Amino acid sequence: MIVYKSEEEIALIKESSLLVGKTLAEVAKVIKPGVKTSALDQIAETFIRDHGAAPGFKGYNGFQHTLCISTNEEVVHGIPGSRELVDGDIVSIDCGVIMHDFYGDSAYTFAVGEVSEEVKLLMERTKASLYKGIEMAVDGKRVGDIGYAIQSYVESFGYSVVRDLVGHGLGRDLHEKPEVPNYGRRGIGIKLKEGMVLAIEPMINLGTRTVVQEKDGWTIRTADKLPSAHFEHDVAIRKGKGEILSTFDFIEEVINKQ
């Protein structure tokens, strides 16, 4: 069942979503070669709690951390730990918070030091595909329109779209209906209506779309071990143009100063 939100509820989701953006910006300040992923996780948890919220992922289905940190061929759900980032890595950081009973959920893929031109383009185009999908997140369109916009854009560069993981509704629960695949056909799927809030999150691979789960029970990586990029925004469905509730502005302000 799809849960439609009031304007007051959308405002609370936006508050949570903006805190995610600020948290990811705090993490961005310390992303460099030699930093342990566990240190990034600790920074995020402290920042979230200092702002009167709780980590949205911690304890969710047994996950024990604040951030999902996925490097290089890891697509999503990577577990923070003793791994040190190295020059040339890319790292997808997915963060959720819960505040005033509503979730925010956003992800950004960062370059660590100097990355190859090929990987840089994968990141840029994955982020661009997110906004292509958001352009379709309007009242009267369908879920398939979002997926088609993302898929057709990234496949034009020879990339592949992960099929096993999808975007989702967002609200009092971290994962609500409807599912929002990053692939699809125009005019197919659930009709989008005002009051819906979606987490749209393309996961795009340089090579095959096939993914496997690691033995830790969480980490999803590409089967061919080629890199994957991931970006995510929370979007309220509106007439004419969707409203992006999350933000990358704080993150990119940090990156542009480095």
Identify the residue whose tokens are 């997140």.
137
Please spell the DSSP secondary structure of 114-169, one letter per residue.
Answer: ---HHHHHHHHHHHHHHHHHHHT-BTT-BHHHHHHHHHHHHHTTT-EE-SS--EEE
Residue type for position 233: H
Range of the domain at 45: 7-257
Q: What is the pTM of this model?
A: 0.98
Residue 2 within a domain: no
pLDDT in tens, the chain (258 residues): 999 999 999 999 999 999 999 999 999 999 999 999 999 999 999 999 999 999 999 999 999 999 999 999 999 999 999 999 999 999 999 999 999 999 999 999 999 999 999 999 999 999 999 999 999 999 999 999 999 999 999 999 999 999 999 999 999 999 999 999 999 999 999 999 999 999 999 999 999 999 999 999 999 999 999 999 999 999 999 999 999 999 999 999 999 998
Residue 1 within a domain: no
Looking only at the bridges linking them, the beta strands covering 167-169 and 197-200 are antiparallel
Residue 78 within a domain: yes
Please, which residues have CB within 8 angstroms of residue 192's CB and are 6 or more apart in sequence?
137, 138, 139, 140, 141, 142, 143, 198, 237
What pLDDT is attached to residue 123? 98
Residue 186 within a domain: yes
Side by side, the strands of the sheet bearing 211-213 are 74-76, 220-222, 211-213
Nearest to 73 by CA among 205, 215, 162: 205
> Which residues are 228's β-sheet partners?
205
Residue 185 within a domain: yes
Domain count, the chain: 1
What pLDDT is attached to residue 258? 87
Q: How far apart are CA 21 and CA 137, in angstroms?
A: 20
Residue 226 within a domain: yes
- Residue 144: CATH number of its domain: 3.90.230.10
Residue 182 within a domain: yes
